[in-house]
Structure 1
Amino acid sequence: MEKDFLTIALPKGKLLIDSVRLLSRIGIECNHVNEDSRKLFYDLPADNVKIIICRATDIPTYIEYGAADLGIAGKDTLLEENKDVVELLDLKFGYCRFVVAMPEGRVPPKLANGEYDLSGLNYQRVATKFPRVAEAFFSGLGMQVSPIKLHGNIELAPCVGLAEMIVDIVSTGKTLRENHLVEVAPILEATSRLIANRVAYRMKHERIRDIVGKLRQEMNEDISAK
């Protein structure tokens, strides 16, 4: 295993632009990396790096099995996939929130503290892309739910009677409002994280530590500039 060579997995979609921009700022010249070319891997010999482009939900798997040394993945994906990887750094971009949402006409009553009373949702069905996150949240409240895993159009499920509620990620809440859904409980906030393969983290520790240090410095400078 060449200790200075790194394979870095970057996510397709909206996180790719921010990922490329951040790596370029620490000296890994990858501004030419994009989805438009349909290339799935890029050799960067000057930086001793190879970049591979993956579906965001697959990145923890590539990292766990050593197909990539480092990767960038949303905390939402890490929680749901639950892979054996090392989480190194919160990169502060790709912000979203996990929430429980229900149709406007079926929201539960509010408690004295202003929060919705979720007790009536015990043993109900929840449509979600994130069954592990949904079950963990309700289990923490001493409740059981029946997750129904969907891969898209989560907001449709309560409208057609497939489920009583949804657990999904939101950024602005616009999609919920457009589909007459109301957020009844926040679950957690999520941002993008730098993750590493456990073996690579030991064998290539100096190189990885250098990258983490540069990334942390860049983010600190961003905060100072605000």
Structure 2
Amino acid sequence: MDYITLALAKGRTAKDTFKLLETAGIYFNDFHEKSRKLVFYNDDQSLKLIFVKAVDVPTYVEKGAADIGIVGKDNILEAQADVYEMLDLKLGKCKFVVAGKYPESDPEKKRNLTIASKYPTIAKKHFEKKGTSIETVKLNGAVELAPLIGLSDMIVDIVETGNTIDENGLTIFEEIESISTRLIVNKASFATKSASINLFINNLKSALE
């Protein structure tokens, strides 16, 4: 049977995504949270789900290994993948911010900036729009530590409540963009499997209403 492949990001929004899929009438009965399986099929075998790291979802979709993907906007922006962004699922709402120690990191007072981030592409593009050339330091965790130990002037990171920023004595200088979980589609698949993909999208839209 012909099916569409969905790449789903592991992590904090996966549980909410499964709830949304079930509201849309899409069930994976062999899935459970402790399972180590990476591939699942829904009841009628029309949908194949693959679990991958969030950072890899845009690549799987762009390269056609998956027809559709559900992943945070942060990973879509960082990957710069050539895909269709079809739907905001309004899950995992956060925002990108520029933060650092005040006043020594104040971007208005410094010319040559070093920015630590898990998202160096997003950081670079943001400061390029402002006409500021920066050096980026790629970190995969504890980004808030970088300005505290002199590794960077500031950070570009995602925050939900801002508590971690506050607790580490940092100041948010600027909000870059709001982000949330999105549905993305491979461009070729959207042409060749349009009926199945549109049905999936419409079911999710109904579940969101």
User: Percent identity over the alignment?
Assistant: 40
Normalized per residue, the structure richer in helix is 1
Q: Which residue of 1 aligns with 2:205?
A: 216
Superposed, which structure 2 residues align to 1:1-226 within 5 Å?
4-30=2-28, 33-108=31-106, 118-220=107-209
Alpha-carbon distance in structure 2 between the residues aligned to 1:183 and 1:28: 40
Number of residue equivalences: 209
Q: Which residue of 2 aligns with 1:112?
A: none
SS at match of 2:90: coil
Contact 1:107 1:184 in 2 (8 A): no
SS at match of 1:106: coil
Alpha-carbon distance in structure 1 between the residues aligned to 2:98 and 2:206: 36
Contact 2:67 2:189 in 1 (8 A): yes
C-alpha displacement at 1:64, in angstroms?
1.1
Deviation by residue 1:78-108 (Cα, 9 ceiling, x = unmatched): 0001111111111111111000001145253
Given the two structures, how large is their TM-score scaled by the length of structure 1? 0.87
Structure 2 runs not aligned, ≥5 long: none
Alpha-carbon distance in structure 1 between the residues aligned to 2:29 and 2:145: 38
Distance 1:205 1:121, change over 3 A: farther
Given the two structures, how large is their TM-score scaled by the length of structure 2? 0.94
Contact 2:105 2:154 in 1 (8 A): no
C-alpha displacement at 1:27, in angstroms?
1.4
Q: Which residue of 2 aligns with 1:115?
A: none
Tell me which amino acid in the other structure corresponds to 1:96.
C
Deviation by residue 1:122-154 (Cα, 9 ceiling, x = unmatched): 321000011111111111111111111111110
Instruction: Name the stretch that deviates more: 33-42 or 152-161.
Output: 33-42
Question: Which consecutive segments of 4 or more residues in structure 1 shift more than 4 A?
Answer: none
SS at match of 1:193: strand
Alpha-carbon distance in structure 2 between the residues aligned to 1:179 and 1:161: 14
Alpha-carbon distance in structure 1 between the residues aligned to 2:31 and 2:103: 46
State the superposition RMSD in angstroms: 1.5
C-alpha displacement at 1:32, in angstroms?
5.0
Alpha-carbon distance in structure 2 between the residues aligned to 1:183 and 1:31: 44
Distance 1:187 1:23, change over 3 A: same
Distance 1:69 1:199, change over 3 A: same
Distance 1:49 1:163, change over 3 A: same
